[in-house]
Amino acid sequence: MNRQIVKLFGFILVLYTLLFGFTSYWSIFDADSLEANNANRRPLLEEQRIRRGTVFADDGRTQIAVSRPQGQGNNQIYVRHYPHGALYGNPIGYSFVERGRVGFEQSHNDELVGNKTEFLSVLDELQGHKQEGEDIVSSLNAEAQEAAVNGLGGRRGAVVAMVPSTGEIKAMVSIPEYDPNVVRNSKAFQRLNTDDSAPLFNRATQAGYPPGSTMKVVTATAGLDSGELSPSSTFSGRSPIEIEGVPLSNSGGEQFGTIDMTTALTNSVNTWWAQAGEKLGNDTMFKYMDRFGFNQKPQLDLPGFQLTSSGVYDGARLLDASDRIDIGRVAIGQERLRVTPLQMAEVAAAVANDGQLMEPRLWSKVIDPDGRETKLDPARQSKVMSEDTASKLNTMMQSVVREGTGTAAAVSGIDVAGKTGTAELSPGVNDAWFIGFAPATDPKIAIACIVEHTSGFGGPTCGPIFKAVAETILNGRTG
């Protein structure tokens, strides 16, 4: 019998080897794919046990998003709370185990939960440190947010305010807004998700609007910087004229004689700019659009799905210079051109910053649990135009606000440079725009404003909003 007993033991050992093999497979070889399995809630649940970092407004004190402890001991979890409700709703987003993450909360998740490189986290573990999130000071300014919300006054639209020299976003508002605190509730989330006014949609970065005459700043840049045009270049301003075989009129059918670029920009003469666009052609126009950041996702620190490229669209397809495009109408912000409010703020900011476009950023400072700070190192996205071009455009844009279509944006005591835009969607229904910066001589802030589906025009509708936000920022201590 002894031989059989030895064989039986051998058989048991084979079975146990299988146990060892399978345990190795699950714990080592297949571990990564198991961890990535959708049904595996461990990573999310683990994160709940980490104190997620606080998001502050630019003053470093105002709390935008905080984590509050619930329960005790090993059972303690942290739940996100947004003390100011809807005020920062769209750019900041939310982070809940039940709902996942969007917005700034998603794009800055690694810092907020304190994820580090493998090596550093092993060191931390050896020292017995618990993983802790890092705090982030965002670039958003509380007063500027409020001014933008109040300025829009419930009208659908968006405001983006950006510091030209650093790219920091001081205000980003999308109306209708939503309160991230209520997203935790499934029914409330369902309601927000199916609401026709799309409150969860960040109009500032996701919505593509026809830019109207604000696009003329891009056309002017292309003309001046390429050397094809100068402030004194002339075209006829009569209306209507044929562009691509279709008649084009000036706003209100207004007639002008042969006028220079400054006059054409100040009075937003469509026929003049359409001829300029045709003279420049697809290649030059697209070259400068690309430099401004069109035809690519904005380089903002938000999740990619919440960023939309600006450009000429055929359905969902972005067209390029080789496509058949009515470039004359692109030059005045018509055709199939769709732009985000963020993109137009970047256009204003590039002119304001002597032609240099800085990468837009929603964060200013990261503070680790030991108090060490990492500050934003502003990065140039592109050199759009020469300093000379920027200076000439600046002067012309000042005249828009001083004596042209944008007088409503004037701020007493300082010079403002800007451009209005009114994209007519149907008779009497416009998307009203204003983009600009102030002070014109030493720009501290560049702002884009849009109000959707309004009967009003760009200047009178968005000018006052620009003024309110600009004044708030320029008067504020942090401005």
Partner 1 sequence: MSARTRELFALIPVALLVTAGFTAVLITNSDQLGNLSVFYGGYFLALCVATHIVIRIRLPDADPFLFPLVALLAAFGMVMLYRLDEGLARDQANWFVLGLVLFSATLIFLRDYEALERYRYSIALAGIILLILPRFLGHETNDAFLAVDLGPITFQPTELAKICIVVFLASYLNERREVLVVGARNIAGVVVPPLKHLGPLLVVWGAAMLLLVFIRDLGSSVMFFGAFLALIYVATARISFVIIGLAMFVVGAYFFAHTAAHIQQRFDIWLDPFNDPGGSGYQLSQSLFAQADGGLFGRGLGDSLVQLPGCHGDFPDRCAILPAPHTDFVYAVIVDELGLFGGAAVVLIYALIAERGFKTAILAEDGFSKLLATGLTAILALQAFVIIGGVTRVIPLTGVTLPFISYGGSSIVANFILLALVLMVSDKARRRVRREGEAAA
# of chain residues touching partner 1 (CB under 8 A): 45
By beta-carbon proximity to partner 1, the closer residue of 35 and 373 is 35
Q: Does 379 bind partner 1 (CB under 8 A)?
A: no
Residue 129 CB, nearest approach to partner 1 (Å): 13
Is residue 478 a contact partner of residue 61, using CB atoms and an 8 Å limit?
no
Residue 55 CB, nearest approach to partner 1 (Å): 22
Least Cα distance to 265 among 301, 229, 226 occurs for 229
Helix (H/G/I), strand (E/B), else coil: 466: helix
By beta-carbon proximity to partner 1, the closer residue of 52 and 291 is 52
Contact positions with partner 1 (CB under 8 A) in 338-357: none
Rounded to whole angstroms, the Cα distance separating 42 from 171 reads 36
Residue 32 CB, nearest approach to partner 1 (Å): 8
Q: Is the dihedral of CA 100, 159, 470, 84 positive or negative?
A: negative
By beta-carbon proximity to partner 1, the closer residue of 75 and 455 is 75
Contact positions with partner 1 (CB under 8 A) in 66-125: 70-77
Residue 27 CB, nearest approach to partner 1 (Å): 5
Residue 418 CB, nearest approach to partner 1 (Å): 51
Contact positions with partner 1 (CB under 8 A) in 36-65: 37-42, 45-46, 48-49
Measured at the CA of 337, the angle between CA 334 and CA 343, to 5 degrees, comes to 115
List of residues 6+ apart from 416 with CB closer than 8 A: 398, 401, 406, 409, 410, 436, 437, 438, 439, 440, 466, 467, 470
Q: Is the dihedral of CA 439, 420, 219, 447 positive or negative?
A: positive
Helix (H/G/I), strand (E/B), else coil: 362: coil
Residue 68 CB, nearest approach to partner 1 (Å): 12
Is residue 64 a contact partner of residue 84, using CB atoms and an 8 Å limit?
yes
By beta-carbon proximity to partner 1, the closer residue of 33 and 194 is 33
* Helix (H) / strand (E) containing 22: helix 2-24
220: left (phi > 0), else alpha (psi -120 to 50), else beta? alpha
Measured at the CA of 224, the angle between CA 222 and CA 228, to 5 degrees, comes to 85
Question: What would the x/- binding string for partner 1 be over residues 20 to 39, using CB under 8 A?
Answer: x-xxx-xxx-xxx-xx-xxx
Residue 467 CB, nearest approach to partner 1 (Å): 48
Span interacting with partner 1, options 9-17, 188-196, 214-222, 271-279, rule CB under 8 A: 9-17
Residue 70 CB, nearest approach to partner 1 (Å): 6
**Contacts with partner 1, residue ranges (CB under 8 A):** 1-9, 12-13, 15-16, 18-20, 22-24, 26-28, 30-32, 34-35, 37-42, 45-46, 48-49, 70-77
